[in-house]
Every structure is written in C-alpha cells, then in structure tokens.
Amino acid sequence: MIHRSVFYEVVTAITSRDFKQTTCANYITHILVDETIERLQMFFDKIFVSNTSPQYKQLSNKLTTVRDFLKIRLRLHMLREDSIGFHSLGHALNKPSLTLTHGANGKCRKLNTCVVCSNTDQTMKFNPVSCNGCKFPFHLLSQIDNLLEETKCSSVDYCKRNLTQQDFDDGGALVGNARNQFEAFIRATARKMNQRNAIKELKKMMKLSCEVIQDDCPIAKKTCDWTDREIEYSSRESQIDYFGKRGMSLQFDATETYVWDKTLQKAVEKTIYFDQVMEGSNKQDVSVVFSFLEALLVHTMDVLPKVKEIIFQSDNAMCYQNTALVTAVALLNAKLKGDIFVRQLIFTETMDGKGPSDVRGAEQKNRLSRGIKKTDRQNRIVRIKTAGNLASALIYKGGTKNGVIQLLEVDFQRMDELLKFIEPTTKEIKKFVTRKNEIQFKPPTTKIT
C-alpha cells in the first residue's frame, strides 16, 4: 500500500504547474497559521541533526496535518450542529474553566459543554486534547514542548548537542506564541461561521417576509467595500514622481432584496449594484462613508421604492467600524423622516463577509480594462486620469442592467461641522460600546430637517 504522504507527493508531481508568487490577500490565515507553521518548521531545521531522521519527518508531517486542518478542515467542523461535541461554535468560543469534572480515561461526560478540553493550559491535570480531535494542533505543540525538555535534560541522538540556553528559551517562546496564534485562529473561524449563519437567517427572514405579504420585501441588505486599487492605468502614473500616490477611490455596494414574481407566484432574489466614485479626493474616513451612505439611501428610494429598511454590512475597517458612524446613522435616520432607515449595522471579521461587493469589484475591473483598451475609439479618452473618466469607463457599453454609477463629491467642511456636532454623543456611546459587530436601530421617533 502506498503511504498517504508518498501518494500526495506523486499526485503533486503529476499535477504540478507554475508556482504562483502572489495570490489574494488573507491576513488572518497568513499571520496566524502560515507564518506560525513556517517558524516551527525553521525551528525543526535548527534543532535536529538531520532532516532525514524519522523524528524530523514525523514532526514535519504532523505540522503539515495541523496546517491543512486549520486552513481547510476546521470550517467543515464548524458547519456541524451545536449538539455534536467538540465541533460546535459554542465549544470553540467557550472560555476555559475548571468547573466541570472530567470523565475517566480521558473521555468527557458532557460532550458539547466540556470546557476542560478546550483549555490549552498545559499546567492542568488533564491533557487538553485527550478527548478532542479538534485540539490536535495543541497536542503537537505539547509534543514539541516535551522534546525540548527531553533534549535539555539529556542528550538525544537526533537533536543537536550544541544547543544553548537561548535556543531552548526561543523554542519555548515560539511554542507559546504558536499556541496563542492557533487558538486565536480557531476562535476567529468560529466567529466567522457564527456570523455567516446569522446573515443566512436574515436572508431567510427577508424571503419569508416577501412570501407572506406576496409583495416586494420592504427590507434590503447592502454589502459595501471600499477600494482604491484603480492605479497605474497610464505609464505616467508608474513613474518615480508618482511613487506612493494613491489612486482614485471607489466604494462597491451590492444591494440584495426579494421581489414577488406574480407570474411564478414566488419570491425571487434581486441584486442591484451601486458603484460610487469619489470626485476631488481619495480620502477614506467616517465622514466619507457617511456621505456615501446618504447618497446610497436616497438613490435606493428611487430604484427600490418599496424598500423601507436597510441592513448595512461591511468589514471591520476603521472607516466603517467607527463609533462616530453609529451616531451619524441615527442622525441620518431622523433626517430621512422614516421614508427609509438603517435598521442594522453588521461588521464582519477581517477578510470576510464582502463576497457580493468583491464580485462586483472584479467584474467592473474587467469591464474597465476592456473599455480603455479599445483602439477604434478615435478622439476618445483611453487613459483614466480623473474620477470622471473612471465613472465613464465603468459604464462602458451601457454598463450592467442592474448597476448604478454615482460620481460623488464630499463637502468636507460641512462634514467636519457635523462630526463636531455629534462628538459629545459619540463620547457617551463609547463608554458603553467598545468593539461592536452588530448595531440595531429602532425606527426614528424624532424627525429633523
């Protein structure tokens, strides 16, 4: 029988292709998993006599298993129901505690509530992975700890003998840091899955509302993402005089709702995209987000007149996850006089929750490239140098049927006055609200002009 690792090498050799040096940014996985795994592997290279020894290969293969589990298999575990022990969101988010009794022979009596097993503190009486396959990463770190102690106390044939005390201290610190990184990644993954489940329930609620009233749903969910990647579309912008200059700023918004199809007699999902281009500046802060949100809501009332409530979703960038935006949205709800109001703000985890807007961004980037590369456009603009050029290029050949392009200019003086006006209220909110992933608003009772 071919060993699994040998089979993997054979398949890799057969299906190999050119190595990709760059890929999509994923800070959470790269910092918490990839870099940690690499540092551990480099430490193995440092302490082992030879990289061909059985002990070296065994630990390296286990390290590969840990990496694959955290990056791929962990999400599948999180998809299971909470009633299944050790694979639930509740278990992953549990705080370590010593209040529960542990079962005999390393087995838990309380499968889905045991927090003894989720504790990664090695000073505890019971091994934290004795009854939990999902804690295998911490089991491997315990083995590395034991290897360091064994090598420090007595000579081991497969480890170098000239290791200093500093080497052992560095190894212990590396293992401790890896333990914290793995635990942070598991909890971040659990939060992502939990939030994704909640967003799915929101969409189910929107669809059910449409089916009950047999009319267009009065609720819509907006997913926004800010980008300033439209740079170096002419040779001049790549010259040294322009080094470090940011490109033109855009915000892509995907508005999802349900409409009632009278012919099919069922609720049909409808998505409308709002592409907002900023004129005169490329600043990204809460004042710009607030201005763009107001423009979104006003235009949404024209495009989707039956939508009365908005669920606003974004990532946790500082321009979005800002206490001042919470105060500003409450003020905006009162200004719109109930014609439409933001009922909920959702801030997803880093590098998560922006799928609909990311798809729109990629689609428009391709459309932009096709539009400016045409050579048969005599006396037409083929190089994007202003925000107006960018907005025109985005509607190349009429744009998309379900797309809206907005060219906006922000009155920063007016916005600074507004932020100063709401600053006292914002300070009071900060006393009660620190980090927030979801904010809900009630319909405005006070209307302002």
The closest alpha carbon to 275, from 363, 384, 371, belongs to 363
Which has the minimum average pLDDT: 130-134, 216-220, 331-335? 130-134
User: Is the C-alpha dihedral spanning 326, 332, 333, 339 positive or negative?
Assistant: negative
User: pLDDT confidence of 92, banded at 50, 70, 90?
Assistant: low
pLDDT of residue 240: 45
* pLDDT tens figures, 47-57: 888 888 888 88
* pLDDT tens figures, 176-202: 999 889 888 887 887 787 788 888 889
User: pLDDT confidence of 296, banded at 50, 70, 90?
Assistant: very high
In this structure, what token pair is assigned to residue 193? 């899955």
pLDDT of residue 242: 46
For residues 373-387, give the mean pLDDT.
67
Give the whole-angstrom CA distance, residue 408 versus residue 38: 46
- Helix (H, G, I), strand (E, B), or coil: what is residue 236? helix
How crowded is the C-beta side of 166, counted as CA atoms within 13 Å? Answer: 0
The closest alpha carbon to 320, from 216, 200, 161, 436, belongs to 436
Q: Are 235 and 366 in contact (CB under 8 A)?
A: no
Contacting residues for 71 by C-beta, under 8 A, at least 6 apart:
29, 33
Q: Is a pLDDT exceeding 70 seen at residue 326?
A: yes
The percentage of residues in the chain with a pLDDT greater than 70, rounded to a whole number, is 72
Q: Are 185 and 33 in contact (CB under 8 A)?
A: yes
Q: Are 439 and 309 in contact (CB under 8 A)?
A: no
Give the whole-angstrom CA distance, residue 17 versus residue 15: 7
In this structure, what token pair is assigned to residue 142? 């315990």
User: pLDDT confidence of 256, banded at 50, 70, 90?
Assistant: very high
Beta bridge partners of 272: 255
- Helix (H, G, I), strand (E, B), or coil: what is residue 407? strand
How crowded is the C-beta side of 394, counted as CA atoms within 13 Å? Answer: 27
Radius of gyration of the chain (CA): 27
pLDDT of residue 39: 92
Give the whole-angstrom CA distance, residue 158 versus residue 50: 7
Indicate the average pLDDT of the chain.
76
pLDDT of residue 342: 93
The percentage of residues in the chain with a pLDDT greater than 90, rounded to a whole number, is 22
Instruction: Output the pTM of the full model.
Output: 0.72
* Distances in whole angstroms, Cα of residue 75 to Cα of each of 34, 164, 192: 16, 40, 9
For residues 326-355, give the mean pLDDT.
84
Q: Are 248 and 227 in contact (CB under 8 A)?
A: no
404 φ/ψ angles, rounded to the nearest 5 degrees: -130, 130
How crowded is the C-beta side of 156, counted as CA atoms within 13 Å? Answer: 19
Look up tokens 């907006």; give the residue.
Answer: 222
